[in-house]
Amino acid sequence: MTALLSEATRVRDLIAEVGRSLFDRGYTHGSTGNISVRLSDGTMLMTPTNASLGALEPERLSHLDHLCNHIAGDKPTKEAFLHTCMYCQRSNAQAVVHLHSTYSVAASIRADVDTSNVLPPLTAYYVMRVGRLPLVPYFAPGDRQLALAVEAAARDHHAVLMANHGPVVAGHTLREAQYAIEELEETAKLVLLLDGKSIKALTEEQVSALARRLLIGD
C-alpha cells in the first residue's frame, strides 16, 4: 500500500508538470486537452473536467478504477472514454495524452489528406515516435461512435487523429506519450508551412530501416 501511495504521488506530480509544460509552450489552450496514467494496480489518474493543463492541482486529479468508475478526486474529463479506448487496445500503454493542438487539428480538417496516414514521414523522429497516423471521421464529443472509431484505429496504431478535433496518443510512459504528441504537432506544422511547395519526404526504404532499428532496439 505504501508503495502504491508513493507511486500515485509521483505520478500526480508528473501529470501536473507535463500539463504545465504543454500549456506553457502553446500545445494546448483554455481547458482543452487531457492526460491519464495507468497505475500498477490497474487504476487510472486522469485530469479533471474543465481543468486547464497549465494549472493542475495534483491532489485534485481524478482517480478511476479499471472500469472507469470514479473513485476519488474531481470529476474526470468528459473525454475519459478516449483514454479507456486506447488502454483497451494498447495493453502495454501506461499513459495517454489528448490535445486540441492547433496544427494537428488543422491537418485533420483538410479535405485532401490520406485518411490511412495523415502526415508524411518528414523526419526520422516522427517515424520513430508516431509512425503511421490514421484519421477517424468526425463525431460529436461524447458520441459513442467516436469511441468505437478510436478503439478500432487503436488496434494497430498508438497515435490516432480525430477529424475536426485533435490527436490522442498512447505511450509506455507519460514522457513517451508527451514526446510523441509533440512530434506529431510539430510535423503537422511543417506540413502546413510547406503547403504548396515541393517536398522530399523520407523514402519507403528509409522508413523501413527506421522500423527495423526500433524492432532490434538499435
Which residues participate in catalysis according to the annotation?
Answer: 79, 125
Q: With beta carbons less than 8 A apart as the criterion, state whether 168 and 82 touch.
A: yes
As given in the structure block, the three cell numbers for residue 130 are 508516431
Neighbour-count burial for 127-136, b at 16+ CB within 10 Å, e otherwise: bebbbbbbbb
Compute CA distances 47 → 10, 57, 129, 155, whole Å: 15, 9, 23, 24
User: What own/partner pairs with CB < 8 Å and gap ≥ 24 does 86-91 have?
Assistant: 86/150, 86/154, 86/158, 86/160, 86/168, 86/170, 87/38, 87/44, 87/170, 88/151, 88/154, 89/151, 89/154, 89/155, 90/154, 90/158, 90/170
Alpha helices by DSSP H, 25-164: 80-89, 102-109, 124-129, 144-154
Measuring CA to CA, which residue among 176, 142, 187 is closest to residue 162? 142
